[in-house]
Amino acid sequence: MQFHFVNGRWVEGNPPLINAWSHGAWMGTIVFDGARAFEGVTPDLDRHCARMVRSIEALGMRSPYSAGELTELSLEGVRKFPNTSALYIRPMAWSEDGFLAPDPNSTQFALSVVDSPLPQPNGFSACLSSFRRPGPEVAPTEAKAACHYTNSGRAEREAKQKGFENAVMLDPLGHVAEFATANLFMVKDGVVHTPVPNATFLNGITRQRIIKLLRGTGVEVHERTISFREVLEADEVFSTGNYGKVLPTTRIEQRNYQPGPVAAKARELYWEFAHSTKER
Q: Same domain, yes or no, for 139 and 272?
A: yes
pLDDT, position 3: 97
CATH of the domain at 62: 3.30.470.10
| Sequence-ordered list of residues with C-beta below 8 angstroms from that of 199, at least 6 positions apart, any chain | 135, 136, 141, 142
Q: Please check whether residues 89 and 138 belong to one and the same domain.
A: no
Q: How far is the C-alpha of 277 from the C-alpha of 174, rounded, in Å?
A: 39
Please check whether residues 101 and 133 belong to one and the same domain. no
**68 shares its domain with 132:** no
Residue 65 carries which side chain, given as an amino acid letter? Y
- What is the CATH classification number for the domain harbouring 221? 3.20.10.10
Domain housing 90: 2-115
pLDDT in tens, 73-130: 999 999 999 999 999 999 999 999 999 999 999 999 999 999 999 999 999 999 999 9
Average pLDDT in the 61-65 region? 97
Q: pLDDT by residue (tens digit) across 157-180? A: 999 999 999 999 999 999 999 999
Q: Which of 39, 60, 36 is nearest to 49 (CA)?
A: 36
What is the predicted pLDDT for the residue at 122? 94
pLDDT digits (tens, 9 = 90+) for 264-274: 999 999 999 99
Mean pLDDT of 209-213: 98
Say yes or no: 105 and 140 in one domain. Answer: no
Q: E-strand spans in 98-201? A: 107-115, 124-132, 166-170, 176-179, 183-188, 191-195
Instruction: Let me know whether 167 and 70 are in one domain.
Output: no
The number of distinct structural domains making up the chain is 2
Q: Using CB atoms within 10 Å of the CB of residue 149, give its burial: 0 to 12 exposed, 13 to 18 middle, 19+ buried.
A: middle
- For 58-154, where are the E strands, in sequence order? 87-95, 107-115, 124-132
Domain boundary at 93, 115, 137, which? 115
User: Are residues 192 and 59 part of one domain?
Assistant: no
Domain limit, last residue, from 115, 133, 163: 115
279 pLDDT higher than 90 = no
Q: Is the pLDDT of residue 280 over 90?
A: no
Per-position b or e across 180-190, b if 16+ CB within 10 A of its CB: bbbbbbbbeee
The percent of residues in the chain predicted with pLDDT above 90, rounded, is: 97
> How confident is the model over 17-34, as pLDDT tens digits?
999 999 999 999 999 999
Q: Quick one: 145 and 258 in the same domain?
A: yes
Q: Is residue 76 located within the same domain as residue 19?
A: yes
- In sequence order, which ranges of 144-260 are alpha helices (DSSP H)? 148-161, 205-216, 228-232
- Residue of 108, 133, 149 whose CA lies nearest to 5: 108
pLDDT at 184 over 90: yes
Out of 115, 140, 169, pick the residue that ends a domain: 115
Instruction: Tell whether 136 and 269 lie within a shared domain.
Output: yes
Which has more confidence, 236 or 280? 236
**Residue 104 and residue 237 in one domain:** no
What does the pLDDT read at residue 153?
A: 97
pLDDT of residue 277: 79
Determine the pLDDT at residue 70: 98
Same domain, 80 and 139: no
